[in-house]
């Protein structure tokens, strides 16, 4: 059974601070890792993908991957109220059989 675990939150962070979101996964053969953002009532939107150990930066977002620890994280620097959303961690074995999603972390950025 492939599982992806996230703290459901809510995680409350002051505006301008760093938001840190964490995710662990159970399937050791997972090859691809993704972070999606989902606003209330909307569809998930891909914001970051990471495929190898280490850090990947894209603007205010940094994804971190540690395959040995089966751990993925997302850092959001200079958090803005518009970052308030549910963040979904997803993993894949790298084929076309879809992603396994965590249940998401609800992030609230306090102005």
Residue 96: is it exposed, middle or buried by C-beta count within 10 angstroms (0-12/13-18/19+)? exposed
Nearest to 36 by CA among 107, 101, 81, 108: 101
CB nearer other proteins, residue 19 or residue 48: 48
> Applying CB under 8 A, which part among 10-18, 21-29, 60-68, 85-93 lies near other proteins?
85-93
| Residue among 15, 46, 57, 110 that touches other proteins (CB under 8 A) | 46
Does position 95 interact with other proteins (CB under 8 A)? The reply is: yes
Count of residues of this chain found to bind other proteins when the rule CB under 8 A is applied = 23
Q: With H, G, I as helix, E, B as strand and everything else as coil, classify residue 82.
A: helix
| Residue among 34, 64, 76, 79 that touches other proteins (CB under 8 A) | 34
Nearest to 74 by CA among 25, 12, 19: 19
Write out the two tokens for 98.
Answer: 């879809």
Rounded Cα distance, 24 and 13, in Å: 21
Does position 42 interact with other proteins (CB under 8 A)? The reply is: yes
Does position 52 interact with other proteins (CB under 8 A)? The reply is: no
What is the binding site for other proteins (CB under 8 A)? 32, 34, 42-46, 49, 51, 88, 90, 92, 94-104
């Amino acid at each position: 059974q492939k599982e992806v675990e996230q703290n459901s939150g809510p995680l409350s962070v002051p505006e301008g601070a760093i938001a840190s979101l964490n995710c662990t996964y159970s399937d050791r053969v997972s090859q691809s890792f993704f972070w999606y953002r989902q606003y209330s009532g909307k569809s998930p939107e891909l914001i970051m993908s990471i495929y190898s150990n280490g850090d990947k930066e894209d603007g205010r977002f940094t994804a971190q991957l540690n395959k040995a620890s089966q751990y993925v994280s997302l850092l959001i620097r200079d958090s803005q109220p518009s970052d308030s959303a549910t963040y979904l961690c997803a993993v894949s074995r790298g084929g076309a059989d879809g992603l396994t999603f965590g249940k998401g972390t609800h992030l609230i950025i306090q102005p």
